[in-house]
A and B are shown apart, each in its own frame.
Chain A
Amino acid sequence: MSISPERETRELRLQQIRNEAQLRATSVSKLPPLTHVDAQPSNGHGALQDFHPAASASPQTGYYGMPLLKTPAWTWEVPIYFFVGGAAGASAMLASVGRLTGAERSMIRDARWLAAIGAAISPALLVSDLGVPTRFLNMLRVFKVQSAMSVGSWTLMSFSSAAAASAVLTELERRRVLPRIPVLTDVADIGAALTGLVLATYTGVLVGATAIPVWNAKVSLIPLHFATSGLSTAVSLLELRGHTSSALNKIGIGATVVETAIGASLEFGKEPATEPLHHGPTGWTMRVAGLLSGPVPLALRLLSLTSSSQSSRAVKLRRAAAISSIAGSLITRWAWVYAGRASSKDPKVPLQLPGPPRPDAKQIPQDK
């Protein structure tokens, strides 16, 4: 095989690096043995331990306690996308089920519009988070069931088309631009509802099926958590739009009961991988999110039942519950991403190191 001269030069350069390394290694080994070093007694933790007690490479600390995993590269757009996508997906489902059960027309219309607006914002958020946004369409080169990101991209594209079609068709029919074409509306509506259900839940699978310990430890819970949170937001947004049907309050009560249960299970279920949910700023973010989306709106909604459903007191209480739920839902997504970032930096779980010590722990493990 003939090798180009340029290739040969580069190949020679590798040889040169090798020779240089060899030469230096040889010259070091010819140095006289060190005699004036105050040897530290072997403690198995590394010589630097006396200066930096935590900074050692050992089976108890890993490699100087440095992170084993990489921190998620995702920026602020991603938790917002989880929030918007969840609310939009749940809205589409509400519109579709509302239509089948004969709910109020204006509520269905608003739910469709919420879905359509969310369907317009979501891709923008997702694209702007990419390292190379102009290559977004590469997401649609392939379809891979084993990649939640691939499934999600296709779901979002289908949802956006269906939700937009559903909202536009409703509007055209209402303004009598088009005659009613029930088949088209049905297809768009049901399509948006089905893809919306995937959109509201897949983001939980997306974070759960990763190497990040706090996420994969809770892979069975996060999709349910995100879905409930999305449904809560959708109902709350409709209530803030002025819809006061008791059906919405019932859905809200159901969702906040589930949120309360999820919050409690996160708070009281402790395992090494979920440490970020219990300690430090990540723990407090999750607690605040849990309170705002679970017990607080639940209490307000139950209180609203004590007055007649159209009374101004009941409406005010439900509005307060809605605002709390929306804030809680947004903070929930952020809290999960935040906890994942903290979790990625802690090598204890992937290395199966003994716990504690927590990052804030004062006690440093010492050899006997």
Chain B
Amino acid sequence: MSVTAFLTDSTLCIGCKACEVACKEWNQVPADGFDFRALSYDNTGSLGHSTWRHVKFVESGAIPGFGGNAPDVFSWGFSSDVCKHCANAGCLEACPTGAIVRTEFGGVYIQPDVCNGCGYCVVSCPFGVVERRPEDGRVFKCTFCYDRQKEGLKPACATACPTESIKFGEIEHLRETARKRVRDLEEKGFDDVNLYDPTDTSVGGIHALFIVRGDPKTYNLPPKPEVPTTYLKKGWMSAGIAAAAMVAGTILAFAGSSDR
């Protein structure tokens, strides 16, 4: 089975949130409440246990052509965020129950009937995607519509996207599409288009690519995500030294004392 991926082209996104609605309906994800943040038109904030697709609203100064607004009005950049389905996934490595698995399509899937809600994946995700649902106890995130992919269908968000901003397909094919799209936009005079695809980090590439205008940091996309297993060596080294020192110190203290 080929490795599938998302390509989310934020230059085409109109912020309609059809992806969020479709995802919620298809996967029967509970409501995430209404939290008035007074920061922007985005009152959802971030991905979470009940938000598996999330449209970010970036308000900028007037940039002609950005967001399709009039030149003298501030403009909007929208980008639909989703679980990155990392090639080396921190959550999957951390999961002590084996509940988090790699599917035959290359996605990262949490088996809800195995998860015991230990919460270790939550602190192991370098993108802040996985979250424990308090009223349920287990953790939840995007399933990459594993059920739909098994039947040869596109994920719900990609199916419902009215502007083809969310593309779904084979990963290398999408990388090519993305590069071509960036080139096209550059030819049209957009000099600030970036493809977010951190392949040179320890996460070893992601299965949800993003085309954004401006710096990806604006969309809370980290420049150098690291899979936390890279810290294990240092940690166990310290543990080993500590254990050896404890034993040595105790032996010295006991052996060197007349009253033990």
Contact A131 B128 (CB under 8 A): no
Where the two chains meet, the residues of B that have a C-beta atom closer than 8 Å to any C-beta of A are: 14, 16-18, 21-22, 25-26, 37-40, 45-46, 48, 56-63, 68, 70, 72-74, 90, 93-99, 114-120, 122-133, 136-139, 151-153, 156, 159-163, 214-215, 217-220, 222-226, 228-229, 231-232, 234-243, 245-247, 249-260
Q: Is A286 an interface residue (CB 8 A)?
A: no
A interface residue count range (under 10 / 10 to 19 / 20 to 34 / 35 or more): 35 or more
Which residues in A have their C-beta under 8 angstroms from that of B249? Answer: 231, 251, 254-255
Question: What residues of chain A have their CB less than 8 Å away from a CB belonging to chain B?
Answer: 1, 10-11, 13-15, 17-22, 24-25, 29, 33-34, 37, 39-48, 52, 55-59, 62-64, 66-70, 72-74, 90, 93-94, 97-98, 100-104, 107, 129-133, 135-136, 138-139, 141-142, 144, 146-150, 152-153, 197-198, 200-202, 204-212, 215-216, 219-224, 226-228, 231, 245-248, 250-251, 254-255, 258, 309, 340, 344, 347, 350-353
Bound together, the chains give a CA A98 to CA B255 distance in angstroms of 9
Q: Which residues of A contact B254 (CB under 8 A)?
A: 97-98, 101-103, 247
A18 touches B18 (CB 8 A): yes
* A-B contact number at CB 8 A: 360
- Given A22-B162, A57-B57, A210-B94, 20 new contacts (CB under 8 A): A37-B72, A41-B61, A46-B61, A48-B59, A67-B128, A70-B131, A73-B117, A104-B260, A130-B137, A132-B138, A142-B98, A153-B96, A200-B246, A210-B231, A211-B124, A216-B231, A222-B235, A224-B242, A248-B253, A251-B249
Chain A residue nearest to B249 in the complex (CB): A254
> Measured between alpha carbons, how far is A333 from B37 in the docked complex, in Å?
33
Residue pair A29, B18 in contact (C-beta under 8 Å): no
The answer on a CB contact under 8 Å between B118 and A62 is no
State the CA gap A29–B15 with chains docked (Å). Answer: 13
Measured between beta carbons, the chain B residues less than 8 angstroms from A130 are: 116-118, 137
| A228-B46 contact given A45-B61, A146-B229, A204-B235, CB 8 Å threshold | no
Given the known inter-chain contacts A68-B222, A251-B253, please indicate yes or no for A44 contacting B60, CB distance below 8 A.
Answer: yes
How far, in Å, is B17 (CB) from chain A's closest CB?
A: 8
Shortest distance in angstroms between A238's beta carbon and chain B's nearest beta carbon?
A: 12
Instruction: Identify which of A20, A56, A150, A197 contacts B243 (C-beta below 8 A).
Output: A197
Q: Are A210 and B123 in contact (CB under 8 A)?
A: yes
Establish whether residues B260 and A70, one from each chain, have CB atoms under 8 Å apart when the complex forms. no
CB distance from B7 to the nearest CB of A (A): 18
Query: Does B218 contact A63, Cβ atoms closer than 8 Å?
Result: yes
Closest chain-B Cβ to A111's Cβ sits at a distance in Å of: 11
Residues of A near B226 (CB, < 8 A) are: 211, 216
Whether B119 lies near A216 (C-beta < 8 A) is no
Could you tell me the distance between the alpha carbons of A16 and B117 in the complex, rounded to whole angstroms? 35
Q: Report yes or no: B162 in contact with A21, Cβ–Cβ below 8 A.
A: yes
Knowing A40-B74, A205-B236 are in contact, say whether A25-B16 is a contact too (CB < 8 A). yes
Given the contacts A18-B161, A205-B235, A211-B228, A132 and B61 also touching, CB distance less than 8 Å: no
State the Cβ distance, A305 to closest chain B Cβ, in Å: 13
| B61 near A344: Cβ-Cβ < 8 Å | no
Known contacts A64-B39, A222-B238, A223-B235: A245-B259 contact under CB 8 Å: yes
Q: Are A246 and B59 interface neighbours, CB within 8 A?
A: no
What 3 A-B pairs have minimum CB-CB distances, sorted nearest first? A131-B117, A131-B137, A42-B61
Q: Contacts A18-B162, A138-B116, A201-B239 known; A70 to B122 CB distance under 8 Å?
A: yes
List B contacts of A220 (CB < 8 A).
234-235, 237-238
* A55–B39 touching, CB < 8 Å: yes
Contact present for A57 and B257 (CB under 8 Å): no
CA distance A152 to B95 in the complex (A): 12
Residue picked from A17, A42, A202, A227, most chain B C-beta under 10 Å: A17
User: Which residues of chain B have C-beta atoms less than 8 A from A226's C-beta?
Assistant: 242
Decide: A98 near B260, CB < 8 A? Known: A22-B162, A63-B56, A211-B228.
yes
- Given A25-B16, A141-B98: A216 in contact with B228 (beta carbons within 8 A): yes
